[in-house]
Amino acid sequence: MARSIILLLDSFGIGSAHDAEKFGDSGADTLGHICEWMAVNRRKADGSPDYLRLPNLAGLGLAGAAELSRGQKLAHPLSSDDSRINAAYTCAEEISHGKDTLSGHWEIAGVPVLFDWGYFPQQPKCFPEELVEEIIKQGNLPGVLGEKHASGTEIIKELGEEHLQTGKPIIYTSADSVLQIAAHEEAFGLDRLYELCKICYELVKPYHIARVIARPFVGSYAEDFVRTGNRHDYAVPAPEATLLDKLTAASGSVYAVGKIADIFAHRGITKHYPASGLEKLFDTALQAVQEAPDKSLVFVNFVDFDSSFGHRRDTKGYGEGLEYFDTRLPEMLAVLKPEDLLLITADHGCDPTWSGSDHTREKIPVLFFGKGVVSQALTPMRTFSDIGQTIADHLGIERLTNGTAADLR
């Protein structure tokens, strides 16, 4: 019986969306700019350009999907022959109001976010005074640090030592609808951090905030601090039944790898596989696929492309992360069953060459692979929900509220 596997490269955009200008992202192009940057800045031993090489993704139609999105070819081929395709490929645009993680994932699962999340203003002391007072009171805290928009890695360098000295957790936000709390995993305590996040999850409901995120770190001094893999997201549940909900309601299974379970508020999840880091995530994805029964969805989020490379504007790291992922793809293809449908996609962009550290409003790649899939360029999708409906059709479950299935045969 049919199974589906989604490998979602968090933030892997392939060109500006039609409404990118509204978000200040006109011209953003995660893949295109990485491709150009690598050609200029990376060199082989003989001094010649060391181009971005993604032969396995190219074989699934990535270059073609990028051309559909951008209206022109990439500056440099991703393989020796980008025309040799063994998949159905296209690009998709988002109709959700935001360019955040929840909106992208929910829309893929058939539930676009057609309302506005709440956001904290870009200013010092960005959180309402009454909210901070309640966090301190209900969390039994000596106070808090931060209270501003910040990069998660930079703010622990800035305030981590003071946090260790005072016991005050660091609260901060970003352009996303989020409240994040950084605290030392050992000195403050991981369980205590999680409990504080649960308190904050209830407190931010009146502000329509999408997520509260625990950001534990370890280390002894500013340059030594590093975030651990024990991040935990407390997310608002989707307002309607998602692809995941409908599959489990139909006696199917959803195997969630990485932060997928958190993104869907642990609803519609059969089994959760915690993992972090590209290598561990891919290893765990292979394990989940090998363990998943018939009529199941294995859903994997490769968060490092966003958190480690995109937000940190690490273009070289992003490109080399893509190349690592590409080298592992044959392992995934080798464990697929004859009726499996593999999808490689993303949830938004995060162009590492862009200004600031926020997501970028971009189209995403949609690459379908399977024994019954005809190699072809599909019509560009007008909503991410077309992806979810295509998978729902493959799994033979109830239609989603939104989306039109692509014909893969």
Fold of 129-235: Alpha-Beta Plaits (3.30.70)
- Residue 118 has a pLDDT of 96
Q: Is 274 exposed, middle or buried (0-12, 13-18, 19+ CB in 10 A)?
A: middle
Q: Are 299 and 254 in contact (CB under 8 A)?
A: yes
Instruction: Determine if the pTM surpasses 0.75.
Output: yes
- Residue 356 has a pLDDT of 87
- Residue 161 has a pLDDT of 97
- Residue 175 has a pLDDT of 82
- Residue 160 has a pLDDT of 97
- Residue 357 has a pLDDT of 84
Beta strands at 88-92 and 364-369: parallel, antiparallel or unpaired: antiparallel
- Residue 14 has a pLDDT of 98
- Residue 322 has a pLDDT of 98
Q: Are 59 and 332 in contact (CB under 8 A)?
A: no
The dihedral through the CA atoms of 195, 196, 202, 205 has a sign that is negative
Give which of 286, 291, 260 is closest to 274, Cα–Cα.
260
Which helix (H) or strand (E) segment holds residue 152: the answer is helix 152-166
Strand order across the beta sheet in which 271-273 lies = 271-273, 253-257, 296-302, 3-9, 340-345, 364-369, 88-92, 376-377
Which helix (H) or strand (E) segment holds residue 35: the answer is helix 30-41
Q: Where in the chain is the domain with CATH 3.30.70.1250?
A: 129-235
- Residue 84 has a pLDDT of 86
Q: Where in the chain is the domain with CATH 3.40.720.10?
A: 3-111+238-395
- Residue 351 has a pLDDT of 98
- Residue 184 has a pLDDT of 98
- Residue 329 has a pLDDT of 98
CATH match of 3-111+238-395 with 3.80.10.10: no
Per-residue pLDDT of the chain (409 residues; tens, 9 = 90+): 799 999 999 999 999 999 999 999 999 999 999 999 999 999 999 999 999 999 999 999 999 999 999 999 999 999 988 778 999 999 999 999 999 999 999 999 999 999 999 999 999 999 999 999 999 999 999 999 999 999 899 999 999 999 999 999 999 999 889 999 999 999 999 999 999 999 999 999 999 999 999 999 999 999 999 999 999 999 999 999 999 999 999 999 999 999 999 999 999 999 999 999 999 999 999 999 999 999 999 999 999 999 999 999 999 999 999 999 999 999 999 999 999 999 999 999 999 999 988 999 999 999 999 999 999 999 999 999 999 999 999 999 999 999 999 999 9
| Amino acid in the structure at residue 135 | I
Query: What CA–CA distance (Å, rounded) separates 147 from 152?
Result: 12
Two tokens, residue 118: 């709440």
Give which of 8, 3, 2, 4 is closest to 366, Cα–Cα.
8
